[in-house]
Chain A
Amino acid sequence: MSLSRSPSPVPGGGWASPGLNIGSGRSSPTRGYTGGSSSATPVMWESSRLKKAGGSGYPSFSTQNSGFLSKHMRKISSSLPRFNSAGSSPYAEKEKLGRGRWSAQNVPLLGRLRAIMGRMGRKMKIRILLLFMLLFCIIIFYNTPLVYHWRRTSWLGGGQKFVIILAANIGGGVMEWKGAREWAIERDSVRNKKKYVGRWGYDLEIVDMSTKKRYAHEWRESWEKVDFIRTALRKYPKAEWIWWLDLNTFIMEPSYSLQDHIFNHLEKHVYRDINEYNPLNITHPLTDEYLDPASRSPEGDGNINSVNLILPQDCSGFNLGSFFVRRSPWTDRLLDVWWDPVAYEQKHMEWEHKEQDALEQLYTTQPWIRKHTGFLPQRMINSFPTGACSENGNDTRIHYDQKDRDFLVNMAGCEWGRDCWGEMYNFRELSYWLNRNPWELFKEEFVAVIWFKLTGQKVKL
C-alpha cells in the first residue's frame, strides 16, 4: 500500500506534533478525534498519556542492540585483522625495516593477547590481576628468606624452639691424626646439618670436642656433652628442645621437619615403659613401697608433657648419639647430678661409655629420673648402618632401611674396624639420590631411560 506519509505507530493514529493536521495522514477518519485541527483540546504527548496510564516510561524490552550485528559488533570487529591506516607512522618507512615487527598489531601472539584483553570486562581483569598477585606472593614467599622466618617464628612454624648441637672436631687431632678423610667427614656432616637448619629455621650449635685438659682421662672424660647442653640452654633462651648429634651422623631425609616427624605427635612415638624394648634388662617399673604412685607405674604420670629426656636405645643399651632434652628445672637437675666425683671414682673403670653408662645407672636407681624419661624407637632418629650392632644380622628395629626412608643415620662405632668416610660418602649420595627434585627425576628416570632404550647408551644428564 502506498501512503503519502509513514503510518504512526501510536494506536490512536496521528503524529505528536501540534502543527500537524492530525487527521491529515490518514485516508479514513479515526475515532477519538473530532473533526480536524479546529478541536479545542490541547495536544497530548503520547508518552505523557502513557505515563498517566501507569508504567515506567521505558519500554519493557531492550530496544537497542537487538540485532545480531549490534550485539556482537565489538567482538567481531576486534577479532578482525587490523591494518595500518595512512599516517600512523610519522617516521620514514625505510628506517623501520625491522623495528615495526614488535608492534602489537603485527605479532600474532601479542596481537591475540591484546585482543583477549580487549574483550575482557573490568571485573575479569581485576580477578586475573588478583590471581597473578597471589601467584607472585607465593613465589616470593618461597624463594626469599620469608619462608625461613615463617618456619622459625615460635608462634608460626616453631623453629626457634629447636636447637641442634653438633659435636665436631672429635679429639681435635690431639691423640690421633686428623687427616683428609676426617676433615671430609666433618665437612659433610656439618654441611648436611647446616642445610637442614637453614631449611627449617632451627639453630645450630657446633661444639668443639677436642681433647681438653679439663676432660682428660681420670677427670670427667666425655662429660663435655653435659656442659655443652647447659651452655646451649643458656645461649638460646627461646629453645625448648635441644637435640644432641654426634659427628658421624647424616640426616637422610631433610624434608622431614622435627615438628612433623616427632613433636607434633609426641605421645604416639615416645614410649616410657622400657619393657617394650629392654636390651639392658632393667626392672621396670620400680616396686619399692616407699615410692609415690607415679614412680611405680610403668608409664610415669601418663602425661606426655612431663617427658623431658627422649632418647633411643640400641642393641646394647641407651644411645646418646642422637637424643633430645627439654628445657625444664628437671633438666637442670639432671645435668647437675649427671657427673658426680664419688660416682665417677667408683665406677669410671666400669663405665666404658662414660656418660652413657652414667645415665643408665641414674635411670636404674633414681625414680625421679625415670619418671621424666621417654624413649623413641631407634630407627626414628638413630638408624644404624649394617655394620653396627650386627651380631645378629640385620635387625629391623635397628638398621637403616631405604624403603622406609629413615630420618637419620648414625654411623656409630665406625672408627673401630669400619670405613667412616666410605659410609659417610655412601649415605650422602644415597640421600641425594632419594631426594632428587622433580626435574632431576624427570631427566634421570624418564629421559635417560628412553635414551638408553633407543640408543643403548647410558648418558648422564
Chain B
Amino acid sequence: MHFALPPRKTSNPPPYLPRSNRLPTLRRSRLKLIAITGLFFLTVIYLLTRGNGHPKLKKRMPTGNPPVVLVTVFDEAKYGKGYLDAIKENRIQYAEKHGYQTFFANIGDYDLKGAPGSWTKVVAMRHALTKYPECHFLWYLDQNAFVMNPQLKIEDHIMKTAKLTDLMKKDHSVVPPDSIIKTFAHLTGQDVDFVLTQDKEGLSVGSFIVRNGEWGEFFLDTWFDPIYRSYNFQKAEAHALEHIVQWHPTILARLAIIDQRLLNSYSQGNKGDQYRDGDIAVRLVDCVSAGAQACETESQRFTQQWRTSFGKF
C-alpha cells in the first residue's frame, strides 16, 4: 500500500489565518511591554518618594492672639500701692486699646537663687512666653515708666519688617562708646528677634522687645543662666546681657538696636535722650536711686499727661 498523499491545497489560499475568538484588544507582546514599562515607572516613583528618613521639624507659627504682651515687674515691697496701681492701670488701658495682654510679676515671685531682684524681669518674660504661647511679641517695660502715646502700636511702629530694617542701626557699637563688637550690617527686619535701645552708658534693659519663638526661649534661658546670676556683675542682668551679646554671635545675629526715644525715652536728659511729646513711653530713671517717694513725685509730672492722651484716643 502506498502512503496517501496529503490533500491538495487550493491555488487561491485564504489571505489571512482564521480569526481567533478572543476580543481583538491587546497582543501578547504589547501586554509584556506595557507591564515592563509600568514596573519601571513604579520603581522610579518608589525611589523618589521614599523621602527622607528624618523629615524636618515643622516650625509652629504663633497665631498672634494677642499680638503683643506687655510685661512689667513690680516691686510691691518698696513702692506704695497707689502708685503701683496707677501704673497697672496705665498698662491695662493701653493693652485694651489694641487687644494686647498684660503680664504682671512681682519681685520675689521666683526663686533667683540669691541674685539681685532685677533679674526677675528675665524670668517674668519667660513666664509670659509660657502663658501666652500664641503672641507675636513681648514688650518689657520697667515699672517706673508710663505709656504716653496710646496711638502707637508696637507691631506697626517698630516691629514691622520693612520699618525695622530702616530703624535698626547697622554696624553700630553694641556698648557705647567704642566696643569692638558692632551690630551686623547684613541683617534685615525679619531676622531680628530682639530689639532694644542704648542709653549713654550702655544697653538699656528697661524697655525691650523679644519675638516669640525658639530663639526667644533660647535667649531668655541663656540670659537667666545661674552662672551669670552668681557671677556678681556690677549691674546684674544689664551687664550679663552686654556680656552675652558680645560673646555669642547667635545672639548678636538676631539683635537690633534702635533709637532710644522710639521705645525708651528718659524723663531727664542726663543719662539718655529726653522725652518729647509723641514718644511712646517715658521712663523715670533718676528717681530709682533716690528712693520710692522720689519716683512717685516725679511721676506726677506725667500722670496728667498720659490720662489726657488716653482719654482722647
Contact = CB atoms under 8 A, between A and B. Distances in A.
A9 B244 CA distance: 116
Contacts of B225: 343, 365-366
The residue among A303, A328, A340 with the most chain B CB atoms within 10 A of its own CB is A340
Given A263-B53, A305-B55, A306-B57, A368 B217 contact: yes
Interface in B193-230: 214-215, 217-218, 221-222, 225-228, 230
B271 interface: no
A311 B312 CA distance: 60
Given A333-B250, A342-B231, A366-B221, A266 B129 contact: no
Contact of A346 (B13, B133, B221, B230): B230
A156 B49 CA distance: 11
Nearest to B111: A288
Given A240-B54, A336-B250, A57 B130 contact: no
Nearest to B60: A301
A303 B50 contact: no
Contact of A340 (B13, B124, B247): B247
Interface stretch (A43-51, A196-204, A399-407, A432-440): A43-51
A393 interface: no
Given A305-B55, A340-B248, A47 B6 contact: no
Interface string B124-149: 10110110010000000000000000
A57 B214 contact: no
A44 B248 CA distance: 113
B192 to A, nearest CB: 15
A371 B133 CA distance: 16
A239 B92 CA distance: 50
A337 interface: yes
Contacts of B129: 292
A289 B48 CA distance: 46
Nearest to B222: A337
A355 to B, nearest CB: 15
A309 B56 CA distance: 15
A336 B248 contact: yes
Interface residues of B, number: 45
A59 B7 contact: yes
B9 interface: yes
A28 interface: no
Contacts of B127: 289-290
Nearest to A365: B226
A240 B57 CA distance: 13
Contact of A266 (B54, B110, B248, B249): B54
Interface in B1-57: 2, 4, 6-10, 13-14, 18, 47-48, 50, 53-57
Given A263-B53, A292-B133, A368-B217, A347 B14 contact: no
Given A57-B14, A336-B248, A341-B247, A63 B218 contact: no
Nearest to A303: B57
A47 B225 CA distance: 110
Contacts of B227: 340, 342-343, 346-347, 361, 365
A361 B222 CA distance: 12
Contacts of B130: 290-293
A330 interface: yes
B234 to A, nearest CB: 13
B54 A292 contact: no
B13 to A, nearest CB: 8
Contact of B10 (A48, A240, A290, A328): A48
A328 B250 CA distance: 13
Contacts of A290: 110, 123-124, 126-127, 130
Contacts of B8: 16, 45-47
Contacts of A9: 4
A155 interface: yes
Contact of B54 (A56, A58, A263, A365): A263
A343 B225 CA distance: 9
A64 B48 CA distance: 56
A332 interface: yes
A47 B249 contact: no
A6 interface: yes
Nearest to A9: B4
Interface in A297-341: 303, 305-306, 328-330, 332-333, 336-337, 340-341
B243 interface: yes
A367 interface: yes
Interface in A31-89: 45-48, 51, 56-59, 63-64
A341 B242 CA distance: 13
Nearest to B6: A63
Contacts of B123: 290
B10 A342 contact: no
A131 B18 CA distance: 36
29 contacts: A9-B4, A16-B8, A45-B10, A56-B14, A59-B6, A64-B6, A156-B47, A259-B53, A264-B53, A290-B126, A290-B130, A292-B129, A303-B57, A305-B54, A305-B57, A333-B218, A333-B250, A336-B250, A337-B248, A337-B250, A340-B247, A340-B248, A342-B231, A343-B225, A343-B227, A346-B227, A365-B226, A366-B222, A368-B218
Interface of B: 2, 4, 6-10, 13-14, 18, 47-48, 50, 53-57, 110, 123-124, 126-127, 129-130, 133, 214-215, 217-218, 221-222, 225-228, 230-231, 243-244, 247-251
9 closest pairs, A vs B, by CB?
Answer: A290-B127, A336-B250, A292-B130, A368-B221, A368-B218, A305-B57, A333-B250, A343-B227, A366-B221
Given A46-B7, A342-B227, 4 more contacts: A155-B47, A333-B215, A340-B247, A366-B222
